[in-house]
Amino acid sequence: MPSPFVSASNLRKTYGDFTALDGVSLSMDRGEVVAVIGASGSGKSTLLRCINYLDPPDSGEVRVDGVRIGYGEGAREDRALPERDIRRQRAEIGMVFQHFNLFPHFTVLQNLIEAPMAVRGLSRAEATERARDLLNRVGLSGREGAFPAELSGGQQQRVAIARALCMKPRLMLFDEPTSALDPELVGEVIAVMRSLAEEGMTMLVVTHEMDFAAQTASRVAFFDAGKIVETGPPAQVLRSPQHPRTQAFLQRILRSH
């Protein structure tokens, strides 16, 4: 059996008394789109931050394409890497934040080319070409010179997605990418994510958008109190959930809409 493209096994993470991850395991095949749903504060964001080692887990391991994150390769797999080397691994994993986290003092173009130049060593011309390409893809060509504050929330989030894509990541993490947006701006971001999924990008998406989970995700994982309590195809998890916590959560969502 071929090993999965992404595998997180038995991740644990506590902050003081609070257990954010209580033994979480998850694997994803190449090109798979997994939607993580669950109540706020249940540890979903921590899962993403542990996968790219923004917050190293207390225990457990993460592998992306066979490489263990945070550790050396091959014979050196038991050696924890210094931050400098983890950074190189992290650059292979794109991340999109709830609050965009664009650099406010940079133009759109500068936001996109900064990391490719600094981390990948691209020339300004190469980075700019790649950036223009991706801006075109997220429907924002012509806005290279704008500053983030001059854009709507939906546009900012699309720039943030393009910024992550500029690093040519092999895996994309989305941390509630539409939660901070006005309702009428959610659609444009979802559309970009959907087309990305169609192009075969491997995506792990923490979201409250049930439509996205139902229509675009290949699998839905329900997260509750630091654990994944149920996972399966969207139709199964969303229409006929097995776990009582999932049922309760979905009922609440249905009622509030």
Residue 69 · residue 89 · CB < 8 Å: yes
Q: Assess contact for 93 and 170: CB atoms under 8 A.
A: yes
Phi, psi of 25 (to 5 degrees): -125, 140
* 168 belongs to the binding site for another protein (CB under 8 A): no
Near another protein by CB under 8 A, which window of 136-144, 160-168, 182-190, 206-214?
A: 160-168
Report in angstroms how near the CB of residue 240 gets to another protein at its nearest.
36
In the shown chain, the binding pattern of residues 100 to 119 toward another protein, with x for contact by CB under 8 A and - for none, equals: xxxxxx--------xx--xx
Kindly tell me which of 65 and 83 has the beta carbon lying closer to another protein: 83
Chain positions 3 to 62 lying near another protein, rule: CB under 8 A, are 52, 54
Torsion of CA 105, 193, 153, 98, to 10 degrees: -80
Of the pair 46, 231, the CB lying nearest another protein is at 46
Q: Which is nearer to another protein, 117 or 191 (CB)?
A: 117
Q: Which of 46, 54, 52 is nearest to 12 (CA)?
A: 46
Give the β-pairing of 67-68 and 93-96.
Answer: unpaired
Taking the CA atoms of residue 156, residue 56, residue 90 and residue 42 in that order, the dihedral angle to the nearest 10 degrees is -40
Task: Give the residues lining the site for another protein (CB under 8 A).
Answer: 52, 54, 83-84, 87-88, 90-91, 93-95, 97, 99-105, 114-115, 118-119, 147-150, 163-164, 167
